[in-house]
A and B are shown apart, each in its own frame.
Chain A
Amino acid sequence: MSADGSGPAADVVAPRRRWGELVLAAATAALGGYVLVAAGDIVVPGSTNTLGPRAFPYLVGAMLVAAGVVLVILVLTGRAGQEEGGEDVDPTVRTDWLTVGLLVAALVVHVFTINVLGWPFAAALLFAAAAVVLGARPWWRAALVGLVLGLVIQVVFGGLLGLSLPPGPLLEGVPFLRG
């Protein structure tokens, strides 16, 4: 939402970037097309006298298609979007896809470890992995910070505020970890 770019970023756009943007615009239109088709399958009960459950989906689908098509045209004619700025965003570097992939991987691992390891350890894992991916060195300090953070949140939210975060098999039965 910030509009701080007064030009430089837009000028050095690599042609590769257009592809991703084109895909996003086309995906918007495609989603709209899907919504239009799928809306026809929504069951309309006989009791509906005027506007049934299909009308609004048709409207939304049409809006998606319209916006998507306009955006495809805009991208093809070279009017690319202005990516968001921010304090910690370096407008001169190119997207580091490896970081994106690893951060997503860390989150997915977190999802599947909550019930296995317990929340505090899954949280420590997520924090440490994300911090190291983002450049924290040495790794064991990040791991330590993550472990402390996970346990503190468990005690404060699980123990004091009564949020039922699963402490996991290792900490099962420790009284102050559960609300």
Chain B
Amino acid sequence: MDNLAALLEGFTTVLHPVYLLYALFGVFVGTAVGVLPGIGPAMAIALLLPLTYTLEPTAAIIVFAGIYYGGMYGGSTTSILLNTPGESASIVTAIEGNKMARAGRGAAALATAAIGSFVAGTLATVALTFLAPVVARWAVQLGEPDYFALMVVAFVTVGALLGSSVPRGLAALSLGLFLGLVGTDTLTGQQRFTFGVPNLADGIDVVVVAVGLFAVGEAVYVGSRMRHGPVHVIPVEKGWRTWMRRDDWRRSWKPWLRGAAIGFPVGTIPAGGADVATFLSYASERRLAGPRRKEFGKGAIEGVAGPEAANNAAASGVLVPLLTLGLPTTATAAIIIVAFQSYGIQPGPLLLQSQSALVWALVASLYVGNLMLVVLNLPLVGMWVKVLRIPRHYLYAGILLFGALGSYALNFSPVDVLLLVVVGLVGFFMRRYGYPVAPLVVGMILGPMAEDRLRRSLAISQGDLAYLVTSPFAATAYAAIAVLLAVGLWLRRRERAQEVTTN
């Protein structure tokens, strides 16, 4: 009952009018930025970081919660109304939702995505409310080798699964680990890879790297091969009557619930994040469709309802390891960790005790944000359609500008912006040659933590390497790597096969 009391406390914080405004602001900006093509939730948060530099932590966290959900949500609008997907998580939505929109059922597709996201997001947040304290209590008992094992699990799964090619993922991860090494060693105070440059003694700022890779790299990459000419947005019919018919409701509610049931657990384990969850949901809806199966690929509403629900449920699931173990399992989660760290808050098992008020305000704002999203978004679709039509040259110029602002505002030093340009170029080449950028960011954030744990472990054991694998948890974790990898790669192959058949 403790948790519920704490959650109520969180609600009293969030329902304060000023914080409600912050939540509304976050949700609104998050959706607007999420709707913009080419901007996924990770980039949305990275770009909007400077907005929150001057806010106090609670307000900033509330804004972030709104941006996180809003960004996830906005992506579905993009993929339904434009013919190509933005965030990887909504690819399957694009298949069915886009077909629906072309058939004049765009409003129904948007509505089932919105309501499904709300239902699944709320259910998943309830699950988060009850699961997070349990995990945190258990996590307190974990020793140094256990944490190291967890991080190895995250490295391997993130490196291997967040991209289409395993060696490229591992190369990106290693590059991130290297960038994490630059700076002063925390345990001995020795400088490493600083090339004698004083600016590098404190390490490379993760925000610069994240913004550089996600914003600058993406803008330059798109610029290098831009689709010119007018933007084709599929028109959406006006009026409430056409949103969802009785039949649409009947066909949607089960996929919503199934999507939530699939999305949340997949989100909590490091197995590729929302991407895998949406695909699993899509595959299961297709299998369960029975006589309707032939509608899949031509605009089946189940194929929008399920994956969208799973996507949002996974977004909440990702917060479980993030808040309780400090373990980011997706690029977006990695950026959220950066945001926390910029306030001197380190997510981990002690977070729920040391920053209890903040965490519960965050959870409460997830509930509130979800509700705001569903209320706001359906009526505002006309506006999002206008946002989708924004001329691309202004859009990508704006992304560059905000990226530059974000890294300049870190220390008000042009050197950071120069570093941003360099990282942006690296991001461009990585995109061009199919290297995933997410493992780099995750590696850079987790690398120093993992090194710390490893060295502490070996200091305890006085150099005995066996200590790393003898605790039952660590042993299980290492065994789990094999299972996660096998399952993850199998899913990926299935996913690709599916894409080929549906295209």
Chain A residues in contact with chain B, CB under 8 A?
1-4, 6-7, 20-21, 24-25, 28, 31-32, 35, 38-39, 42-45, 47-53, 55-57, 60-61, 63-64, 66-68, 70-71, 74, 80-91, 93-97, 99-100, 103-104, 106-108, 110-112, 114-115, 119, 123, 126-128, 130-136, 142, 145-146, 149, 153, 157, 161-166, 179
CB–CB A99/B223 < 8 A: yes
Contact A51 B459 (CB under 8 A): yes
Is A164 a contact partner of B412 (Cβ separation < 8 A)? yes
| Docked-complex contact A86 and B37, CB < 8 angstroms | yes
Q: Which residues of A contact B162 (CB under 8 A)?
A: 1
Tell me whether A93 and B167 are in contact (CB under 8 A): no
Contact B167 A67 (CB under 8 A): yes
The 10 closest A-B pairs by CB, nearest first: A81-B434, A134-B393, A87-B37, A130-B397, A67-B171, A131-B397, A90-B227, A63-B174, A136-B393, A50-B463
CB contact under 8 A between A53 and B401, given known A163-B50, A163-B53: no
Report the separation of the CA atoms of residues A122 and B184 in the bound assembly, to the nearest whole angstrom. 33
**Quick one: which of A6, A39, A96, A130 contacts B503, CB cutoff 8 A?**
A6
Given contacts A53-B188, A87-B86, contact A103 B429 (CB under 8 A): no
In the complex, the answer to whether A89 meets B404 with C-beta atoms within 8 Å is no
Interface residues on B, range: 35 or more
Near A by CB (< 8 A), chain B positions 378-422 give 391-398, 400-401, 404-405, 408-409, 412, 414, 417-418, 420-421
Question: Would A103 and B417 count as touching, CB distance under 8 A?
Answer: no
Q: Which residues of B contact A84 (CB under 8 A)?
A: 221, 431-432, 434
Whether B445 sits at the interface, judged by CB under 8 Å, is no
The verdict on B238 contacting chain A, using a C-beta distance below 8 Å, is no
Contact of B225 among A68, A93, A135 (CB under 8 A): A93
Q: Can you pick out 28 interface pairs between chain A and chain B where the beta carbons lie within 8 Å of each other?
A: A1-B436, A1-B438, A3-B495, A24-B430, A25-B171, A42-B190, A45-B190, A48-B188, A50-B458, A50-B462, A51-B463, A60-B181, A67-B167, A71-B167, A80-B433, A83-B431, A84-B221, A86-B86, A87-B38, A90-B225, A100-B220, A100-B223, A107-B400, A123-B401, A134-B392, A153-B401, A157-B409, A165-B412
Besides A127-B401, A161-B54, 5 more A-B contacts (Cβ < 8 Å) are: A2-B91, A39-B192, A48-B188, A64-B171, A123-B404
B: residues with CB less than 8 A from A are: 37-38, 50-51, 53-54, 78, 82, 84-86, 88, 91, 162-165, 167-168, 170-171, 173-175, 177-178, 181, 185, 187-190, 192-193, 216, 218-228, 275, 331, 391-398, 400-401, 404-405, 408-409, 412, 414, 417-418, 420-421, 424-425, 428-438, 447, 451, 454-455, 458-459, 462-463, 495-496, 499-500, 503
Q: Tell me which residues across on chain A come within 8 A of B395, comparing CB atoms.
A: 88
Contact (Cβ within 8 A) A51 B454 = yes
Which residues of B sit under 8 angstroms from A74, Cβ to Cβ? Answer: 167
Among candidates A21, A68, A88, A133, residue contacting B222 with C-beta atoms closer than 8 Å = A88
Determine the distance from Cα of A74 to Cα of B434 in the docked complex, in whole angstroms.
13
A67 CA to B436 CA, complexed, in Å: 14
CB <8 Å contact, A103 and B462: no
Contact A53 B185 (CB under 8 A): yes
Cross-chain contact A87 with B85 (CB below 8 angstroms): yes
User: Which one, A83, A130, A162, contacts B396 given CB within 8 A?
Assistant: A130
| Among candidates A21, A39, A166, residue contacting B433 with C-beta atoms closer than 8 Å | A21
Task: Give Cα distance in the complex from A28 to B168, angstroms.
Answer: 10
Q: Give the CA-CA distance A7 to B436 in the complex, in Å.
A: 19
Q: For A51, what are the chain B residues with a Cβ–Cβ distance below 8 Å?
A: 454-455, 458-459, 463
Bound Cα distance A100, B218 (Å) = 11
B88 near A89: Cβ-Cβ < 8 Å: no
Known contacts A6-B500, A87-B37, A100-B220, A57 near B181 by CB under 8 Å: yes
Q: Please judge, given known A-B contacts A3-B496, A6-B503, whether A111 and B401 are in contact too, CB under 8 Å.
A: no
Docked pose: A94 CA to B436 CA in angstroms: 20
* Residues of the A chain whose Cβ atoms lie less than 8 Å from the Cβ of B463: 49-51
